[in-house]
A and B are shown apart, each in its own frame.
Chain A
Amino acid sequence: MTTSTTLGAPPRSVAGRVVDRIGGGLVQAVLVLIGVFWLVPTLGLFVVSLREETANNSTGWWTALTKPAEFTLKSYSDLLASGFTASFWNTVFITVPTTLLVIGIAAMAAYAFAWMEFPGRDALFLVVVGLLVVPIQIALIPVAKLYGTVGIFGSIAGVVLFHVAFGLPFAIFLLRNFFAGIPSSLLEAARMDGAGEWKIFSTVVFPLAKPAVASLGIFQFLWVWNDLLVALVFANTENQPMTKALQSQMRQFGTNVDILAPGAFLSLIIPLILFFAFQRYFVQGMMAGSVK
């Protein structure tokens, strides 16, 4: 009696502990099942991408798990020989500049919102918050027309600009909130040293915001890397990223599995690496931006 109170543990019967143990075991079993459920689709894609077309047409991919001799890289080598690499590089050329531009432009605006005073500042920021949820569909037709006039329809530059514009509200929102949390004493110190606004922004505030910039960067990168709709409208065949290249093969899904499976897998490899390497920032960014 006394021991149990001092230990703070409620006295439990043997039966109660057995029930707990079984309950815990049940929870674990259920979670394992769910985990398998979540893994199997991706695993299936991977295995399918490693099998010959004829094998995929005759038996399910899971039968190959017991006979790894069936595995071959043929689909991958065929795919790379077919010019898929060009769309891979297009994806890179779209994603990297977009990410850098969004970070740079948004950081400047966020600095102004957080640390400068100007008339209409708060109202303007509310506009940014409002723009967070604007569907990109609204801009497809007008911007397509605009690009036609300017002559960048179909180009990588057009795709990048569109992504940058629609990435900005989230980026400004995220960075402003982070910038505003930087202790003002640091800025005062810099101002006392006679630093101008640009200098304070680039040497004090921006470097301090590395975690937020990392969150934003990874988010923006994945978002653009994985986009299909913008590319579908604004990129021509020559400049199309992987998502659009794959989409054009979907019409004959059955006969094109040997292109689609390795292509889809290649397209998700880099996001997955980034995700596992930076998942902390990914989660932080997601939480900071969950109003979106």
Chain B
Amino acid sequence: MTNRLDGPQDPPGDTAGGSSPGPNDTLRPAPDAGPEVRTPPPGAPTGDTSAEDAAPVKPAKKATRLGPPPSMAIWFLLPGALLLGVMVIYPIIYSIFRSLYDANGDGFVGAGNYATIFSDSATLITIRNNLIWVVVAPLLVTAMGLIFAVLTERIRWATAFKLIVFMPMAVSLMASGVIFRLVYEQAPDRGVANAVITSVSGLFDSDQGYPDARPRENDQAPVAASQGAVVSKQPAAPGRAVLVPLVGVKPGSIASAAPAKAAQPGPGELAGTVWVDFTQGGGGAVNQVDPTEKGLVGVTVEAVRNGAVQATARTEADGTFRFTGLAPGDYQVRLPSSNFQAPFNGISWLGPTLITPAIIGAFIWVWAGFAMVLIAAGLAAIPRDALEAARIDGATEWQVFRKITVPLLAPVLLVVFVTMIINTLKVFDLVFVIAPGSVQPQANVIALEMWRVSFGGGGNQGLGSALSIFLLVLVLPFMVLNIRRFRRDNQ
């Protein structure tokens, strides 16, 4: 972590100021600064500590300047300073001014572009989406990283697991986008997400729908369609057989179905057959169960009397059903509309409503490994004695975790959390790649809108500049946080 590479640097940093003078004086005749007494370097903290360190040893030399003259530093800093100045600092200043002008940069509009950001419905959506991102994603990533780090602690193949979860970090967000476009394909026989959902839900609910099945529309047909359901035209009493011939079933869905059989009702039974009254290749009698015609399995059949369902049955593989124990009388046989609903057609992950959660899912896939590795390193640094002491005192694992592990991890968790906030504020590639063009307005985020407005056909560099300044303002608190933390660590 930061501390690890930061940590050791303090003492040597001090010595650079404090103790290197000795040899240098003798060897380096000249720097004009040589003999002269210099004030400590501007960075007061380093200067102070070095003074303390060096004081007892060689008080006389503590203020002597060692090493190269300041002018030398210019040459080492020049290339970097030039690049940062021209490509980072100057653009910030330029953007501030540019954001006050209109699309072409001719007319001064003052805060007009900023007003647009907060009034235009398109940019308001981007702000809303960024808000969702910032609230949801960092929390989920940090929580998952913590869970993974804790779970892997005592597992022998932890390294393999970590490599797998960490791997997406190496993959470009562009490629991750392609990967998740494939995962989120809507058709359950192509997109793996919907395929998993289909097969899991299939375990609980084996309803087979026949969305296109319908009765023949003529007077001879014994059944008719009624409000989405299929009902028998003639009332039937126990001891009778009811024929429910249907057509319009896709051949594919009954290719492996068993041949239909005419039901033989036992005494007191109301029985019947639901089948596809269509003989492939022609032939066969209408409204008769012919030998090659297929039964429809799993159809729900209700026996209805005076508008109330008296009994429910399901068809067998050969399409037959039977009701036993019905009170004598006339019943109507009904196939409720649930039989004819389209089967699960896949969740529309990439549709307008779910697009942001779907992309956040991909984001978590990319970043959970980062969180896990950082937190695992923090976990490894926690002194075992503290945990052991608590356990010996009778604390449960959960208490140890809540009261000791998490508080000790707090600095690392904060680093991960803040890093994720910054990342979510800047999120661009994943949204740009995963959201199909038609739903991009619903998935839009500030960073993407900035690009769209300025380069992706918008042609409004005034608004683009304002958006980029807005983005900079959003990360400003974290910039301050970083600087403060750095100064604290270095004192």
Binding site for B on A (CB under 8 A): 10, 24, 27-28, 30-31, 34-35, 38-42, 44-45, 48, 56-57, 59-62, 105-106, 108-109, 111-112, 114-126, 128-135, 137-144, 146, 161-162, 164-166, 168-169, 172, 174, 177-178, 180-184, 187-188, 191-192, 194, 197, 201, 212, 222, 225-229, 232-233, 242-243, 246-247, 250-251, 253, 257, 260-261, 263-265, 267-268, 271-272, 274-276, 279, 282-284, 286-288, 290-292
Is the pair A135, B468 in contact by a Cβ cutoff of 8 Å?
A: yes
Q: Is the pair A137, B87 in contact by a Cβ cutoff of 8 Å?
A: no
Which stretch from B159-167, B247-255, B321-329 is at the chain A interface?
B159-167
Q: How far is the CA of A162 from the CA of B88 in the complex (A)?
A: 9
Q: With A201-B76, A286-B374 as given contacts, are A188 and B24 in contact (CB-CB < 8 Å)?
A: yes
Q: Given A31-B155, A191-B23, check contact A247 B450 (CB 8 Å).
A: no
15 further A-B pairs in the complex, CB-CB below 8 A; given A253-B436, A261-B178: A116-B76, A117-B73, A131-B88, A132-B482, A141-B465, A168-B84, A172-B80, A184-B19, A197-B68, A225-B172, A229-B428, A250-B177, A251-B437, A291-B415, A291-B419
Residues of A within 8 A of B86 (CB): 146, 165
The interface residues of chain A lying within 8 Å CB-to-CB of B81 are 109
Complex Cα–Cα for A134 and B464 (A)? 16
Q: Give the residues in chain B near A226, CB-CB below 8 Å.
A: 171-175
Chain A residues near B161: list those with CB within 8 A. Answer: 31, 34-35
B483 contacts chain A at the CB level, 8 A cutoff:
yes
Q: How far is the CA of A290 from the CA of B28 in the complex (A)?
A: 39
Contact of A135 among B76, B160, B192, B426 (CB under 8 A): B426
Which residue of B is nearest A192, CB measured?
Answer: B23
B88 touches A166 (CB 8 A): yes
* Contact-size category for B: 35 or more
Q: Which of A45, A122, A177, A227 contacts B9 (CB 8 A)?
A: A177
Q: For B4, what are the chain A residues with a Cβ–Cβ distance below 8 Å? A: 287-288
Among B2, B46, B392, B483, point to the contact of A126 (Cβ < 8 A).
B483
The answer to whether B468 and A291 have CB atoms under 8 Å apart is: no
Known contacts A27-B151, A165-B83; is-contact A183 B12 (Cβ 8 Å): yes
Q: Are B98 and A228 in contact (CB under 8 A)?
A: no
Check if B182 is an interface residue, CB within 8 A of chain A: yes
Number of A-B contacts defined by CB within 8 Å: 350
B39: nearest chain-A partner, CB-CB: A119
Residue from the list A24, A128, A184 in contact with B12, Cβ < 8 A: A184
CB-defined contacts of B43 to chain A, threshold 8 Å: 121-123, 125
Binds A, one of B110-118, B281-289, B302-310, B470-478: B470-478
Residue of A nearest to B175 (CB): A264
A229 to B43, CA, bound (A): 37
Q: Which of B391-421 contact A (CB under 8 A)?
A: 392, 415-416, 419
Distance A112 CA – B152 CA, assembled complex (angstroms): 42
B374 close to A290 (CB less than 8 A)? yes
The reply to whether B183 and A44 form a contact with Cβ atoms under 8 Å apart is yes
| Residues of B close to A279: CB separation below 8 A | 163, 166
Whether the Cβ atoms of B151 and A30 lie closer than 8 Å is yes
Return A113 CB to nearest CB of chain B, in Å.
8
- Provide the residues of chain A in CB contact with B163, threshold 8 Å: 276, 279
* Residues of chain A lying within 8 A (CB to CB) of residue B58: none
Is the beta-carbon distance between B450 and A166 smaller than 8 angstroms? no
Contact with A along B66-103 (1 / 0, CB 8 A): 01101011101101110110111011101100100000
Known: A24-B154, A38-B165, A191-B27. A246 touches B170 (CB 8 A): no
Nearest chain B CB to A196's CB is how many angstroms away? 8
Q: How close is A180's CB to chain B, nearest CB, in angstroms?
A: 4
A133 and B192 within 8 A (CB): no
Using known A-B contacts A138-B95, A142-B91, A187-B20, determine if residue A114 contacts B182 with beta carbons closer than 8 Å: no
Interface contact B98-A130, CB-CB below 8 Å: no
Q: Are B373 and A137 in contact (CB under 8 A)?
A: no
Q: How far is the CB of A274 from chain B (nearest CB, A)?
A: 7
Task: Judge whether A62 and B76 touch: CB under 8 Å.
Answer: no
B319 proximal to A (CB < 8 A) = no
Verify A233–B451 contact, CB threshold 8 A. yes
Flag if B171 contacts A105 (CB, 8 Å). no
For residue B440, give the distance in angstroms from its CB to the closest CB of chain A: 11
B27 x A164 contact (CB < 8 A):
no
Q: Given contacts A28-B155, A141-B464, are A116 and B73 in contact (CB under 8 A)?
A: yes
A-B contact pairs, 30 of them (CB 8 A): A24-B154, A31-B152, A39-B164, A40-B183, A41-B192, A41-B365, A42-B167, A45-B175, A106-B80, A112-B77, A122-B46, A125-B43, A132-B482, A137-B447, A138-B468, A140-B468, A161-B87, A168-B80, A169-B84, A180-B9, A184-B12, A187-B16, A212-B5, A226-B171, A232-B451, A233-B455, A257-B182, A263-B178, A279-B163, A288-B1
Q: Judge if B13 is at the interface, Cβ distance under 8 Å.
A: yes
Min Cβ gap B439→A in Å is 12
User: Do the beta carbons of A42 and B174 come within 8 Å of each other?
Assistant: no
Contact present for B482 and A134 (CB under 8 Å): no
